[in-house]
Amino acid sequence: MANAPTALPSLIEARGLGLLPVVLSGSARLVAVVDMDILATDRLPKKRDFSLFGLTFPLFHRVDGPHFAAALVQMLKQGWHDPE
């Protein structure tokens, strides 16, 4: 489970809009990691993992396209199919 640090304000940065207030939802279960510094180039990426505090999570890279946010939400709702 993960929680927002108590010292941080309840804000989210929305590119092009600025800082927006949000209602924190409390604890959240970490189910995947997206590395926003690495651009995904494979159409169907192979499974990657990321380890943190002895736990392993699926690792995804940033997609440069307008569909990325919607695809990420769909993946978080329904899971990911490994093409292998």
Work out whether strand 55-62 and strand 33-39 pair parallel, antiparallel, or are unpaired: parallel
pLDDT in the model for residue 24: 85
For 39, residues 6+ apart whose C-beta sits below 8 A from its C-beta are: 61, 62, 63, 64
> Is pLDDT of 2 > 90?
no
**pLDDT tens across 4-49, in order?**
888 878 898 988 999 999 988 888 889 999 999 999 999 888 899 9
**pLDDT tens across 41-82, in order?**
998 888 999 999 999 999 999 999 999 999 999 999 998 887
pLDDT in the model for residue 36: 94
